[in-house]
Amino acid sequence: MLQKEGVTAYFGCISTDKYGEILEKCASQDGVLGHFMKVKDVATGTCAVCIVEKERCDVCMYCILKKSLVANLSAANKFDPSHLKDSTSQEILSNARIVYSAGFFLTVSPESALICAEHCLAKDKAYAMNFSAEFIVEFFKDRVLALIPYATHIFTNKDEVKKFVRDSPRVGRKDFFFFLVQTKNKFSLIVTQGSSSVLIARDGKSKEYPVEKIPAEKIVDTNGAGDAFVGGFLFGLAEGKSEEECVNAGCYAAQVIIQTSGTRLSGKPKFVFKTK
């Protein structure tokens, strides 16, 4: 796996405070072009991650008291579609081959996500989205469904799938992997299942990819595993690799992050694609 600087760009909203400076600096050090909208009236968003016994859980009150994410979105809530109209944003979108949006962004500016999705459709580019959390598909389902027709790749996990299906009478459990709403694209539905396997459905067919298990004693912190998987998968997609190789790259990235405390990485990745 190569490390290439300046090939990944990021849109978001931060404050002009010290946390904004830290975020911008860290992104730059990791080779990411952070084109941030900046505000002064609120602080940069922060998040406390509580980990107990290597994992994070936010399913019930008991778990929340033990381990959870506590987010202060603050400036992140201020992102405005107008930011996408400046010359730098337009250049980034024009040069991008893949655009990805996490489901969390739909709580802030669904209009911005739609602008990017429409751009990708018009230019025949890949547009990837992520359900991101059960509450997204529960409370913001209309916004999710509005974007699905534009998606070429949809990332989710087994719990989000269950929630989506449970709240969607017209999509039965048995045929979830084969459902297609009235889409402008035929998308790949990519479902992670922790250490069990990765399921991918497309064009009425599904395939299961096994996941190499990491010894329990090597796991440090499972937070961020899903995001890391998406990053690795999309890297493979950008390199023109097969579906299987994209999954392998995603699994490698996820396995690296769960063996790391926090999100700061060191050294060079050792992943190598099996096919050229």
How much is the pLDDT for 118?
Answer: 97
Amino acid at 67: K
Indicate which residues carry an active-site annotation. 227
* pLDDT tens string 179-189: 443 355 678 99
Answer positive or negative: Cα dihedral of 77, 81, 82, 87.
Answer: positive
Domains by residue range for the chain, with CATH = 1-77 (3.40.1190.30)
Which pLDDT value is given to residue 79? 97
Give the model confidence (pLDDT) of 218-270 as tens digits.
988 888 889 999 999 999 999 999 999 999 999 999 999 989 887 777 778 88
Walk along the chain (276 residues) in steps of 10 and give the mean pLDDT of each run. 72 97 92 95 89 54 51 94 97 96 95 97 96 91 91 92 71 46 68 90 85 88 89 95 96 92 78 79
Q: Give Cβ neighbours of residue 181 (< 8 Å, ≥ 6 apart).
A: 145, 148, 149
pLDDT at 89: 97
